[in-house]
Amino acid sequence: MRLDEPVKFRQYSGYLDSTTGRHQFYWYIESELDPENAPVVLWLNGGPMCSSLLGLFTENGPFKADSNGTKLTMNQYSWNKVANVLYMETPAGVGFSYDEHPGPLINDNTFTAVATYFALESFFNKFPKLRKNPFYITGESYGGVYVPMLANEIYVQKSTINLQGIAIGNGKFDWTTADVSQVPTLSQYDFALGHGLISSHYYQSKLESCCSNDLAKRFRCDFMNPINKTKCDSVKKEPVAIINLYNIYDNCPLDRDPVNNSQSFAAYNTYNPNNKLIKQAEYTERPSYCPHSGHKEYMNRVDVRKALHVLNDAPEWSEYVGHQGYNIELRNGSQTFVDLIEKYRIAKILVYNGDFDSVCDFITDGRFVEGLGYEPTDEYRPWTVDGKPDGVEGGFIQHYEKGLSFLTVRGAGHAVPKDKPEAALHILKALVGFTKL
């Protein structure tokens, strides 16, 4: 590992025992601030089947790789500034995690939650002195499924893990027939209108043709089963092409290989916004002015794999292996949240969204949180990235009763810690109780 400055913390990596025959790769990075007593934070990228080491190198970890993977630099907004951070590749088949049994791997939401739970117990068995520390689960995108389901599993198992809260960025909480059919929802129409991606005339015509005349029901307008499907389908438009659906104001496509349409867009998840609204612009080459992170090249260096205790016969590391072998079931995520709050009395749930993301947009997630049915405890208001009244505005926040909060992050896309690292670190500090939002 080549660095121009000293590393001020210890780190560990290797494999955690999961369910029978399964082993999940981890990279544990101690806090720069009192690691023996600092909170322990688990980070999970989504996908499903996306490596959490992507988050380590491109979002909230202490290291950033140069373009060819030969040199690392330090991230001044790394989450291990205030917490012990555990990055785990889950489920088996992701990154360096593996299953001893031959044959194709089959994963689903429930099995992944159980397998990750047992790997987590294995971690605390390796580091027993940390079991007393406050523990938090964080993640993004399909982490909207991973994170609350893992938290629920910890309570179901009556674990002694000291779980205190969860935080999810730009999460996918529900999986509906609209997702399967790629039919946009009212929230997605609202997002597109608010960001100037569709005209007011088209928006109004579409709602008038597809939604109920009862204003009270328009909030739940069902584009899957409109009152008059013929009339609804007659209102059409040519979709607008966006360079990066995960950050609609980014001038660069996702830093993935290849950069063309389908595979690039699938980097985090398997669902696409319906092309009746917007679509991913197609590229055959990445523009030269767009930066490239060499974390993949770095992770596949022989010396790095040896230092990280990766199995000799482990496959080449990649940040996303595709969703084949992962069964995504229809689900309503609300009940899991309600159980965490009412049944298990979790202390804190924080949902945050970059407001430039069209894939898991802030309107959809804000309505999901509002739909849980908890009363606001104060006014929807701005927050600042340093907590000072005259500081830089970070976005807007709404607190609810029983430790539930929803906030937007101004100017961020799908990966908030990448786009707004200082704001993301402040969100983490609020989650673990070091500051307030």
Catalytic residues: 141, 357, 414
Give the DSSP per-residue string, 52-117.
Answer: THHHIIIIISSEEE-TTSS-EEE-TT-GGGTSEEEEE--STTSTT-EESS-S---EEHHHHHHHHH
Q: Comparing C-alpha atoms, which of 27, 33, 16, 32 is closest to residue 54?
A: 27
Which amino acid, one-letter code, is at 338?
V
Q: Comparing C-alpha atoms, which of 55, 99, 66 is closest to residue 325?
A: 99
Strand partners, 87: 27, 43
Q: Comparing C-alpha atoms, which of 117, 145, 86 is closest to residue 270?
A: 145
- What is the C-alpha to C-alpha distance for residues 298 and 72, in angstroms, rounded to an integer? 9
Kind of pairing between the strands at 326-327 and 107-108 = parallel
- Among all chains, which residue has been given the structure tokens 């016969």? 313
Q: Where are the beta strands (DSSP E) in 130-182?
A: 135-140, 163-169
Which phi and psi (to 5°) does residue 208 adopt?
-65, -30
Counting Cα atoms < 13 Å in the Cβ hemisphere of 298 gives: 24
CA distances from 162 to 117, 151, 406, 431 (A): 13, 11, 23, 14
Strand partners, 354: 409
Give the DSSP per-residue string, 387-433.
Answer: S-TTS-EEEEEEEBGGGEEEEEETT--S-HHHH-HHHHHHHHHHHHT
For the chain, the first-to-last Cα distance in angstroms comes to 37
Kind of pairing between the strands at 404-409 and 348-354 = parallel
Categorise residue 433: left if φ over 0, alpha if ψ from -120 to 50, beta otherwise. left
CA distances from 312 to 295, 305, 306, 424 (A): 19, 8, 8, 36
Which amino acid, one-letter code, is at 259?
V
